[in-house]
Structure 1
């Protein structure tokens, strides 16, 4: 029996080795590196942290970052996110699955605890858990959420809402009204409009009554002078149509507003559609989204470097697509990409940091550690905290 098993193993291995042309492949162009390579940002010597910015590249693993580097700045260049001086890794499993989804992954960052796939701001028993954003609001800090998906999508929702399932986007939008968040920027007008909600609730009107300025396009954003914004630039996820702001533009506006708060601020910014491109195994789409996200990273890092009291942490909720850099073609001007799945994987994701106490984010970390440590460093309280009656 053992001999038969060995023969079977050798046969399967031989067949596998002969499969040299996997079906699920794409080819991307590699940019020729030009100019000088940007230097790594320096370690910040001060320990004073006034502001925290959490950047989440949804679905972004090392392959997505490297493919972006090759296609945007070339093999010898660096994306802005690659200039961050501290690097570690994040383990991403949820409480009920080795392969997390964005809801449980984001709740690990926001609440500092493991929960089940689909959960928004609740623990495995569906008890609401307090988030770092809510702790920051209680301490008088300004807060903001930016996303290129609907602002009620799983990642941003997990910082300012508490529902049993991520699909409950109407309930999430209603939760946002009582969150105290100063800046919401993303897509998702359908979840706020009385003409599109199943309950005909006029959330747009209620947000206006609560002091928010409603923004529908980039011009509205640029012209706004309010310190409370609800920017909804698409029916659902942002579609990169004319009139929609880039993620960098949204980031800059949020920083302009929240940096006026002498008590400091907490901002979460998500590059949502890197994940969507991974689900679709679409390299061209992915590279556009990586570039858009990286431009926002530059805006954030420029602010943090000038400010000196801002900690920036960049990570992902999970990797999507099992993206692999397969082989080089021609004279190095193209690269084959191979996708192993159209869903998430359990591969650990990068963790990068710049600013005061950045060294706290070296090494192999659980995703819950990130939320717990950020809350501690921002001095807004300890996570996790359950909101039981």
Structure 2
């Protein structure tokens, strides 16, 4: 009995430690300047040669977590241009949650995924704790393939808000289990321990195998996988920062697009998150922020190239909120140098940009609430109102 109690306590301690470790990126490590480490080429687009369809068959939604206009402009300055700049339709999203002028990623992600504002910390549920249907779930109902890619744990707030339904964002094991309640075609991100080292003893990787998923542990491992169900758990917790994870996000985005495009479906919905822009903002670290913006912009090129070839794809880039109250104080595009300032180590309530490219992109101009991004995607996909709960 004593051994059982000891083991039980150890499991609880491990669970608490793992959950707390998911938030340790918020420790302040102020650094206000950045000089470019690696540049990437920006695409060249001849808009006269492109004729997009009026409505998209596919939607690829990029969320730069914590990415406001200053974060974008830091990237523009450092790289002397971004792929985001090539997206001709631009709007602004107001990010407030149902219970707070300053949203968190859970409520912000839920607003984008469901069109409903909820309380901070909520994952796919409304202010009363009732489940909301996400754009990913509507897509599944309507015969579309679906995918999620993230540089954080795939169970973290933003990706979780597209697939899970939990009252608290910290319920990582419960969120991981929610993946098994869907027919998502592709998901790539960290958080492997929440699938295997669980307090309830379940091994969700084995359950994924039983459901027909090919499970891998890095993107290179599944390089030859081109169709079917795919789950890639790229880290036991969060992925490393941009300096150490290499081309993980670009390769993951390209792989997800390839697999979803090969699915026997009526198109697809894919969400790609550049998670750690937010973490750099929490740390007031201009290098971290700018490097992560550039990393997501490289991945964005894969989506834009696909959209130009496909002509039936809409690509959206936005954020769930801004982090750090960041401003760009000075810079030199010729040297790739940026000098910044921060007003907070937390989120701020300011509007965030929305960039759109491809089929239906013109719908995203203007100023609107974050919930409108869901509404615009839902209408462009021509889902029937009867589908709504």
Distance 1:228 1:184, change over 3 A: same
Aligned to 2:18: none
State whether residues 30 and 283 of structure 2, in contact with CA within 8 Å, keep that contact through their aligned partners in structure 1: no
Shift of 1:45: 4.8
Matched, 1:130 2:137: no
Alignment size in residue pairs: 358
Shift of 1:244: 6.7
Select which of 35, 44, 54 maps to 1:29.
35
State whether residues 41 and 354 of structure 1, in contact with CA within 8 Å, keep that contact through their aligned partners in structure 2: no
Aligned to 2:258: 256
Q: Distance in 2 between matches of 1:335 and 1:98?
A: 29
Distance 1:145 1:66, change over 3 A: same
State whether residues 278 and 321 of structure 1, in contact with CA within 8 Å, keep that contact through their aligned partners in structure 2: yes
Aligned to 2:347: 344
| Greater Rg by CA | 1
Superposed counterparts of 1:45-60, under 5 Å: 45-60=52-67
Q: Secondary structure at the match of 1:268?
A: strand
Aligned to 2:97: 94
Q: Distance in 2 between matches of 1:218 and 1:225?
A: 12
TM-score w.r.t. the length of structure 2 is 0.86
Per-residue deviation, residues 185-234 of structure 1 (Å, max 9, x unmatched): 011101001xx211121111001100011110232121334511110011
Superposed counterparts of 1:71-82, under 5 Å: 71-72=78-79, 74=80, 78-82=81-85
Aligned to 2:221: 220
Aligned to 1:155: 158
State whether residues 219 and 232 of structure 2, in contact with CA within 8 Å, keep that contact through their aligned partners in structure 1: no
Q: Distance in 1 between matches of 2:122 and 2:344?
A: 23
State whether residues 77 and 337 of structure 2, in contact with CA within 8 Å, keep that contact through their aligned partners in structure 1: no
Q: Secondary structure at the match of 1:162?
A: coil
TM-score w.r.t. the length of structure 1 is 0.86
State whether residues 123 and 164 of structure 2, in contact with CA within 8 Å, keep that contact through their aligned partners in structure 1: yes
Aligned to 2:117: 114
Gaps of at least 5 residues in structure 1 are 1-22
Aligned to 2:285: 282
Distance 1:102 1:32, change over 3 A: closer
Per-residue deviation, residues 28-74 of structure 1 (Å, max 9, x unmatched): 237999999955856755313211111101000111111111112x2
Distance 1:110 1:211, change over 3 A: same
Matched, 1:204 2:205: yes
Q: Secondary structure at the match of 1:136?
A: helix
Aligned to 1:17: none
Per-residue deviation, residues 96-130 of structure 1 (Å, max 9, x unmatched): 00100111111111111110000000011111011
Q: Secondary structure at the match of 1:231?
A: strand
Backbone CA RMSD of aligned residues: 2.7
State whether residues 151 and 185 of structure 1, in contact with CA within 8 Å, keep that contact through their aligned partners in structure 2: yes
Aligned to 1:247: 249
Q: Distance in 2 between matches of 1:126 and 1:278?
A: 30
Shift of 1:328: 4.8
Q: Distance in 1 between matches of 2:168 and 2:375?
A: 23
Distance 1:291 1:368, change over 3 A: same
Aligned to 2:70: 63
Shift of 1:318: 0.2
State whether residues 30 and 285 of structure 2, in contact with CA within 8 Å, keep that contact through their aligned partners in structure 1: no
Shift of 1:348: 0.3
Aligned to 1:178: 181
Select which of 349, 352, 375 maps to 2:378.
375
Q: Distance in 2 between matches of 1:305 and 1:181?
A: 25
